[in-house]
Structure 1
Amino acid sequence: MNISVIIPVYNAEAFLEQAVNSALIFEEVKEILLIEDCSSDNSLRICHNLIKRDSRIKLYQHPDKLNHGAGASRNLGIEKATSEFIAFLDSDDYYLPNRFDAEKSIFKDPNIDGVFGGLGVEYLSEKGKSEFEEKFKNTTLTTVKYHAEGKEIFRGLLNLTSEFFGTFFHLNTLTIKKSAIHKSCLKFNTELRVHQDSDFITKLSYYCYLKSGIIDRAIAIRGVHDNNRITKIKMYSTEYNSKQLLLWRSLYIWSKNIHLNADEKKYLLLQYKAFELSTQKGLQKYINLASVVVKYPQILKTRYRFTYTKR
């Protein structure tokens, strides 16, 4: 195997070296692409120091040297990657020594496009731990509930399998053939500053033949600290509902131009409508809700609380 690891870098001076070192230990990793995204701390200087240490480490910035977000940075990484396989790593996270163990056997099957596994947690501050536990409760392993492959993964991510598959798997644990990404013409949605990874994974599971790898234990670690963006957004807050609306709108618009089963199309429509309602206010919100319920009564069974917003 030969793997390109893509690391978007933004204000990661405290964590970047550990992330890079965790990828360097693998002989399969032929290059590490640091995509520096106009950091305001010392991240760029650290990037320059790192590329002097190992020829596998390469540094790129956006042509205008401005900040474009993680999605655009990953797109640039995919464009620059030269290896057969691509893996992703957030700059404040790191790989474990078993990161690519499953890939070595699973990719012997030429029909497999991608493999994913479980993501663990390391608490780097008490404040970060408190915020993470408040939002994600006792979720110390981000994973799926059972082994699956192919279309069952796509349907599982939409909660349409007979048993609960799991909410999602993390991008840090995905290894994907570069050719599969190009064949699907898939890119990260740069309009999503949050949840662009969930958007990408959902679409990828439709276009590509994915298979679960090591899902009962971690193959990478999420570093939880004071500045994790995802934990700052409180569940069902105005900001949370607005970010979710952007995600489900992206998936809904995408779904209109591809072939999906009726229940898959309906699920994406209902999630989009639910969060669209969640961002509305006053009497007009309930008038619109009544209209939607008449047409789509199943919206009352969506797992999101669209009928109110926490301030």
Structure 2
Amino acid sequence: MGFVFSLLIISFIVLILINAIFATFHIVVWSIDGLNAIFQGMNLTERIIYSTYFKWIILADILWIISALVFVFRRKQYKTDEQLYYLINKPIMEPKICVIIPAYNEEPVIEQVVTDYINQKNIESVFVIDNHSSDDTAKIAEKCGAIVIRKEKNMGYAHSCVMGLKKSLETNANIIALTEADGTYSGTDLQKMIPYLDNVDMVIGTREIQVLSEKGNQNKTLYVWGNFLLAKLIQIKFFSLQHMGVVSLTDVGCSYRCIKRDALEKIIEQFSHPETGDVLVKPNSGLFALFMTMLGIKNDLRVVEIPITFKKRIGISKTESDKKDKAFKYALEFFWFILRS
């Protein structure tokens, strides 16, 4: 079904472009040559209807709609096993949280971030994975009480995430939280994320809620709508006719999340190539959050997305995702990753 999904999405985009180009061309031609069209007794509607191209486009549109309906109705029983995809209640009686913070040159904010998480309830340990910073990020984090893992060279954000998640499994934590070192997320949100783990395996945040976002944050209009549309693409990929999908998403780029230990153990080896150990996504592409979400869904983890607070970044973006050309490039990478995964 993955191939069918990809084919439907790509053909949909192609058909939208063809329809738009066809309509625009005829409107422009008719508006330029409007008087002749009137004298010849041929208006815009007639020009379109009698066009051979129009008939082929309509046929293609109808075939696509039929294919989409077949896809939808074949998904009526998709991921509907009661034991895997419906309500359970398995409370975590004694939460022990390990927080993972990938960091690179975050000296201005790392003290604030580490202190914020250390001061939260049920925190067992805070790991800062220092991606070979050239400033005092590691030293300050250590002084604040974090366990710092220093990398000998910069191997990228995704590598830091995987390293931190693996380190968390060496502790006795039963909940692992992944967050950022740039001050955009709040440690207090753990207290509203953790309760959901009574019913699910992984809780991920969404930054799309305006009243929970600090004005002036880096999620501008382009990023908000791009994240939303890509999130809905994932939802369609895992579409189920009964509940509109096994997951409901609005934000693909949010890395803030909490996951149960046993759920992480189920997927941890799938982050990396079995022979080389290389992380299976580009080190600095920003794909890791999306990768982890989709990996969880494909491995039958129960995933829920909830609103979180989102603040302005302190410092600069290390992936340069705040630049429009980079953001557009990442959007295309995200889109292609969703199709082929």
Deviations 1:61-95 (A, max 9, x none): 23xx1001111111111111121211111101232
SS for the counterpart of 2:266 is helix
| Mapping 1:127-142, distance limit 5 Å | 129=216, 132-133=219-220, 135-136=222-223
1:131, distance to aligned residue in structure 2 (A): 6.1
Of 270, 293, 298, the residue aligned with 1:186 is 270
1:169, distance to aligned residue in structure 2 (A): 6.1
TM-score, reference length from structure 1: 0.60
Whether the aligned pair in 2 keeps the contact of 1:6 and 1:34 (CA below 8 Å) is yes
Q: Compare CA radii of gyration and give the structure with the larger one.
A: 2
* CA spacing shift, 1:222–1:132, aligned 2, 3 Å: same
* CA spacing shift, 1:15–1:99, aligned 2, 3 Å: same
Match of 2:235 in 1: 156
State the distance in 1 between where 2:188 and 2:217 align.
28
Q: In structure 1, give the amino acid aligned to 2:295.
A: K
Aligned alpha-carbon RMSD (Å): 3.5
For the pair 1:66 / 2:153, whether they are aligned, the reply is yes
State the distance in 1 between where 2:330 and 2:225 align.
23
State the distance in 1 between where 2:198 and 2:238 align.
29
For the pair 1:175 / 2:258, whether they are aligned, the reply is yes
SS for the counterpart of 2:176 is strand
* Unmatched 5+ stretches in structure 1: 52-56, 124-128, 145-151, 256-311
For the pair 1:12 / 2:103, whether they are aligned, the reply is no
For the pair 1:195 / 2:286, whether they are aligned, the reply is yes
Match of 1:117 in 2: 205
Of 87, 90, 101, the residue aligned with 2:192 is 101
- Percentage of pairs with the same residue: 17
State the distance in 2 between where 1:4 and 1:186 align.
21
State the distance in 2 between where 1:2 and 1:198 align.
25
Q: Give the count of matched residue pairs.
A: 223
Match of 2:310 in 1: 221
* CA spacing shift, 1:102–1:247, aligned 2, 3 Å: closer
Q: In structure 2, give the amino acid aligned to 1:85.
A: I
For the pair 1:50 / 2:133, whether they are aligned, the reply is no
SS for the counterpart of 2:310 is strand
Deviations 1:255-287 (A, max 9, x none): 3xxxxxxxxxxxxxxxxxxxxxxxxxxxxxxxx
1:153, distance to aligned residue in structure 2 (A): 9.0
State the distance in 2 between where 1:166 and 1:137 align.
9
TM-score, reference length from structure 2: 0.55
1:47, distance to aligned residue in structure 2 (A): 2.4
* CA spacing shift, 1:29–1:194, aligned 2, 3 Å: same
- Structure having the higher helix fraction is 2
1:138, distance to aligned residue in structure 2 (A): 9.1
* CA spacing shift, 1:134–1:153, aligned 2, 3 Å: closer
* Unmatched 5+ stretches in structure 2: 1-94, 272-278
State the distance in 2 between where 1:169 and 1:244 align.
10
* CA spacing shift, 1:166–1:233, aligned 2, 3 Å: same
Deviations 1:100-141 (A, max 9, x none): 33423x3334xx211233435446xxxxx38643643699xx
Q: In structure 1, give the amino acid aligned to 2:161.
A: R
1:213, distance to aligned residue in structure 2 (A): 5.9
SS for the counterpart of 1:232 is coil
* CA spacing shift, 1:157–1:177, aligned 2, 3 Å: farther
State the distance in 2 between where 1:49 and 1:89 align.
19
Match of 2:250 in 1: 166
Whether the aligned pair in 1 keeps the contact of 2:102 and 2:130 (CA below 8 Å) is yes
SS for the counterpart of 2:220 is helix
State the distance in 2 between where 1:231 and 1:156 align.
24
